[in-house]
Structure 1
Amino acid sequence: MTTTETATPSGNAPAVPDESTRAALDAAIATVRAGEQRWAELGLRDRVDLLGRVHAAVAAQAEQWVAAAVRAKDLDPDSPLAGEEWLSGPYCTLSALSALQHTLTAVAQGRSPIETQRFGTAPGGRVAVPVLPTSRYEYLLLHGFSADVWMKPGLSASDVRANAGLGALTPTSTGGVGLVLGAGNITSIAPLDVLYELVAHNRVVVLKLNPTMDELLPVYTAAFAPLIELGLLAVVTGAGDVGSYLAQHPGFSHVHITGSAVTHDVIVWGPGPEGAARRAAGTPVLGKPITSELGGVSPIIVVPGEWSAADLRFQAQHVATQRLHNGGYNCIAGQVVVLSSEWPQREAFVEELRRALAQAPERAPWYPGSCDRVAAAGAAYGRADRLGQGGGRLLVDARNGVDASAIETTEYFSPVLGIVDVPGTGQAFLDAAVAHANTALVGTLGANLIVAPATLKELGSGFDEALARLEYGCIAVNAWTGLGFLAAGAPWGAFPGHTLADVQSGIGVVHNAFLLEDAERTIVRGPFRPFPRSVLGGELSLSPKPPWFVSARSARRTGQLLTQFAAKPSWAKLPRIFASAFRA
């Protein structure tokens, strides 16, 4: 979930924009509609050059981008937490632009963008496409981390290679004008959605910013000036009345939203009882296709094993990061920890988790409505632990007969974390946890699993078979699904199969810089232990505490250095990055 100020879920339609605002919006749509023909006439090699100019413009705006994000989120610019804004803003945008240039170059040369990848296999005969690492740079910078895209069952390796490219395979067939209703939490979401519309679907775009991102308007305007100057993109601002007017505007052929399922349903069916009636009848008020990324309640499945005290402490910090990154305002934030009721170390882990949540750096509750959502969780769970300064973080222990339905079906989009348990150990626990995540939790965007290497070895093929039954669009093993968001080549979206009437975490994917067709899910893997304990434990990983951890002391500098590297890669830049990362 990210609240998109587009419609009023309470049942009352938002006000209509005034005449001058409507005229300005109509003019923006007309400008972009004229740009559609220019996009159709722009050959693939020219598109590569254009993306290169965008890459240079984003790099030039990186400092201003982060400064604006820090202001919007009321962060101390010198805080290590500012590293989040480097990584989830200009860094991943630059990475995506580079990957898209690679893809378009390959297609322009008559090659598949995944021609050189060595495919693997996954349960059910699925083709597995490696999307991280894809270069020696990535291999070193993210040593020990990997990501593979599991394609839908029934596709052959030759099918996968031949179909990669999507709209780039037919660049002159444009998709009209698309509306992107931007997210309000992560600053790269809207730009990445725009790029995907352009390249994957050949749609020119009007981007409507969420009001929380208005601070970024000058940065976006400068960073994406090469697209704006050609009439391929227009960026507009406004509240719910503007979003509603645009969504219903006949000038758009498609809508993409990153937001909440509630807002999505109001756009598709209309507000109030009339909207509910249309939904029941299957007669949407929105007369055009819509794709979406809508968040949900993400599980963190902790597979029982024999852990050291250092393991318990590190993985508790890992879970705290999954909840508290960006203040807890992430569609992919972990919300429900699933433990084994038979794990001897479960209470020791809960105590470490309580400590990690309490000791994580404080930050202002900057996202609108956060305090109200925390209060609602506190009202539902009066015995929740209130942690951090002022008790603004909640740890809800929904075990031992406590009704877990609220924590499992409400995306709190705030620093609220729950704990539930299921019985069993080994494969029995894993199977029960997967079934619980599939049936009890709302949404299918991302799921996380934490499992010690020895336990993973004991589970053998049963582990991947369990992953195949876990119906989420991104699954992270000893990592956080946020890395799947950062990985340019990984498709990002809900597990396929949702409908307008039961949208869950959304329909369709974005990012997906290799333009894979018919991806089912992304599997991200990382080290259970950080370096040097990883090596001592038999894992081939040189990764220290990852820079996205909220407890990483050098995160701001590491994020800045990584962004500078993404702007202009060079072997000479690596030593400074490693030196900063190892000070985390």
Structure 2
Amino acid sequence: MNTSELSSVLGRLAVGALRFAATDARERADLARRTALATVAVAAPWAEAAVAIKRAVPGSGSALAEELATGPMGTARLCLLTARAQLDIAERGLPRAPSAPRILHAGRRSVGGTPPALVGLDLLPARGPAGTLHDGMIHQGFRATVRCHDPGGLANFDQAWRREVEERPRAGGVAVVLGAGNVTGLSAADVLAQIFEHGRGVFLKVHPLHAPLQPLLEAALGPVVEAGLVVIAVGGADVARSAIAAPETTHVHVTGGEATYRAIVWGSADPADRSAAPLLSKPITCELGNVTPWFILPGRYSPAELSYQADLVAASIANNTSFNCIATKGIVTCRSWPQREDFLALVERRLASLPARPGWYPGSVRDWEAATGRVAPADGTVPSSLVTGVDPATDDRLLAREWFVPVVAEVPLDADDLAGFCGRALAFSHRLPGSLAASVTIPNGLSAVDLRHVEQFVDHLAFGVVAVNTWSALAYALGNVPWGGFPGGTLASPKSGIGFVHDPLLLPLVHNSVIRAPLSAAIRPPWFPWHRSGARLARGVVDLYGRCAAGKSGLGTMLAMLPAVLRG
């Protein structure tokens, strides 16, 4: 694409954004609903193409389940949530959350930079344009709360929210979105956020790994492509540079590594070679990854609870070969916790039971060897590796950067009691690069005093999402939990990123979100790599979302999935 062609394409996107700004909320809702239908229509070939890109064994149930869930399923759900929010705006001027906004922690003293008071809204169960999405069954026992800065009371919050709803979708302009190469649904979600949450036309430059997906993404996003709001291009860094530099471009959004971000903003991926002033003169938002911790709070866990939480941790490492920005990279335990060795043995046993996957992501075999100090298997796989007893004071190699490989450090902290561990763990969290997400496992049966320490710990973790008793990736899967680094990232120090995506409710002043799940469950989550019916259940949920988008009942689909759910 030469300069003249690129200018013409970007100009058409700017015109499309102007047309979008002139539409009303019902028209936007219909556009989002039709995009959900288009996504569901190509779900099978999308997932199959993704499995091929990742060099998984054809017909692999776990790989297919992952690709269905993180690609078309997540995209369709985000479209449905967006459609519902826009219909609510048409009917009452604001999106409708499952709970009314409420003041959290009234009168609380600020600790560690956290505002003294926050406004909270619950996000589950969410609804689609025609009603239920069956969250009560699919996400049974889950809670999700987004926490926003308090602008001086609920009346002021309402006014700030109404301003966002009125102004953001009409902002206009053209965003260049640089797609990530690790998860196929990320680019689609970023495109939808730029359109429906910011009113921009989008020039999407897909990652070279995803070139085979271009026609499928164009079909999945067909309604917004036809509306003149999206152009999808394949190419390398030269295409990205030209699009970013074009005068028609008004915004840049990147999901990827910090090296890519530095090259765009400062002119070099090497911090030592960066320019004195940023070269990028346009606003940028980004999501840049994380050294993701999972804190295991000391206490007494039943065998079922310990096993279930160990399985969650193992699944968070094995999923997508750990090529996720929120794959667990550090398991933080209390050295004196009596069940520590049992827990780590359960994690290691589960990881050892899974076949090693190919190192399909560029540079992953080299990085695996650097992280482990071993020679990678000759078949090109990258086995999971848990390194226990790591002391970050003497060896922080595995924690000083995000290793995009399935290698995890266990860090035992010294503490005499739960309160002491919470204090040490909070201080340790501040040393980790990134601020995207963290998980915390909390035992049942705590005293009121211990529970207060635990809640203060959760409250003050400086991450965009804090997940209690579950993997933080579930927050991304929900679609309406704002996703991004903890506020405070700057051009010079972006941490895990600047700004949020996945905000169909168009919320103001987002601080972070907390999701909570039961400590154990009798039914195995379908995203566990060892689930025997994961692919079947993922297909079922995609079909369910298609029926919801078409205004049909999904109850029959839910009932048809029950045998697979119970089979586990």
Contact 1:317 1:551 in 2 (8 A): no
Contact 1:44 1:171 in 2 (8 A): no
| Alignment correspondent of 1:553 | 532
Give the counterpart letter for 2:512 in structure 1: R
| Alignment correspondent of 1:210 | 207
Please give the alpha-carbon distance, in whole angstroms, between the structure 2 residues aligned to 1:504 and 1:479: 23
The unaligned stretches of length 5 or more in structure 2 are: 106-115, 549-553
* Greater Cα offset, 251-260 or 403-412: 403-412
CA gap of 1:510–1:324, structure 2 versus 1, over 3 A, is: same
Give the counterpart letter for 1:526 in structure 2: A
Please give the alpha-carbon distance, in whole angstroms, between the structure 2 residues aligned to 1:339 and 1:289: 40
Deviations 1:196-249 (A, max 9, x none): 111111111111101111121111111112211221110001012212222222
CA gap of 1:227–1:352, structure 2 versus 1, over 3 A, is: same
Counterpart mapping for 1:287-436 below 5 A: 287-379=281-373, 392-399=383-390, 403-424=394-415, 425-436=417-428
Counterpart mapping for 1:243-254 below 5 A: 243-254=240-251
| Alignment correspondent of 1:128 | 120
Corresponding position: 1:91 with 2:91: no
Q: CA deviation at 1:441?
A: 0.7
Corresponding position: 1:578 with 2:527: no
Identity in percent: 31
Give the counterpart letter for 1:258 in structure 2: T
Contact 1:127 1:155 in 2 (8 A): no
Q: CA deviation at 1:176?
A: 0.7
| Alignment correspondent of 2:110 | none
Q: CA deviation at 1:514?
A: 1.1
CA gap of 1:204–1:455, structure 2 versus 1, over 3 A, is: same
Q: CA deviation at 1:551?
A: 2.4
Contact 1:166 1:515 in 2 (8 A): no
Please give the alpha-carbon distance, in whole angstroms, between the structure 1 residues aligned to 2:168 and 2:306: 51
Q: CA deviation at 1:99?
A: 0.8
- Of residues 499, 502, 514, the one that matches 2:493 is 502
Q: CA deviation at 1:105?
A: 1.3
Q: CA deviation at 1:167?
A: 5.5
Give the 3-state SS of the residue equivalent to 2:520 in structure 1. coil
Contact 1:177 1:253 in 2 (8 A): yes
Give the counterpart letter for 1:65 in structure 2: W
Give the 3-state SS of the residue equivalent to 1:511 in structure 2. coil
TM-score (structure 1 length as normaliser):
0.88
- Of residues 476, 487, 492, the one that matches 2:467 is 476
Please give the alpha-carbon distance, in whole angstroms, between the structure 1 residues aligned to 2:156 and 2:560: 42
Give the 3-state SS of the residue equivalent to 1:572 in structure 2. helix
| Alignment correspondent of 1:53 | 34
Give aligned pairs, total. Answer: 545
Please give the alpha-carbon distance, in whole angstroms, between the structure 2 residues aligned to 1:493 and 1:67: 28
Q: CA deviation at 1:57?
A: 0.9
* Greater Cα offset, 395-404 or 345-354: 395-404
Give the 3-state SS of the residue equivalent to 1:460 in structure 2. helix
| Alignment correspondent of 2:55 | 74
Deviations 1:406-456 (A, max 9, x none): 111110111111111112231211221121012x21000000001222248
| Alignment correspondent of 1:178 | 175
Give the counterpart letter for 2:234 in structure 1: T
Contact 1:107 1:165 in 2 (8 A): no
Q: CA deviation at 1:486?
A: 0.7
Give the counterpart letter for 1:397 in structure 2: T
Q: CA deviation at 1:162?
A: 3.8
The unaligned stretches of length 5 or more in structure 1 are: 1-19, 532-543
Corresponding position: 1:156 with 2:150: no
Moved over 6 A (4+): 272-275, 388-391
Please give the alpha-carbon distance, in whole angstroms, between the structure 2 residues aligned to 1:100 and 1:428: 43
**Over aligned residue pairs, what C-alpha RMSD do you find?**
2.4
| Alignment correspondent of 1:64 | 45
Please give the alpha-carbon distance, in whole angstroms, between the structure 2 residues aligned to 1:121 and 1:264: 36
| Alignment correspondent of 1:566 | 545
Contact 1:166 1:201 in 2 (8 A): no
| Alignment correspondent of 1:536 | none
* Greater Cα offset, 31-40 or 492-501: 31-40
CA gap of 1:385–1:369, structure 2 versus 1, over 3 A, is: closer
Please give the alpha-carbon distance, in whole angstroms, between the structure 1 residues aligned to 2:270 and 2:313: 40
CA gap of 1:92–1:176, structure 2 versus 1, over 3 A, is: same
Give the 3-state SS of the residue equivalent to 2:123 in structure 1. strand
Corresponding position: 1:103 with 2:85: yes
Q: CA deviation at 1:180?
A: 0.6
Please give the alpha-carbon distance, in whole angstroms, between the structure 1 residues aligned to 2:394 and 2:168: 53
Contact 2:164 2:508 in 1 (8 A): no
TM-score (structure 2 length as normaliser):
0.91
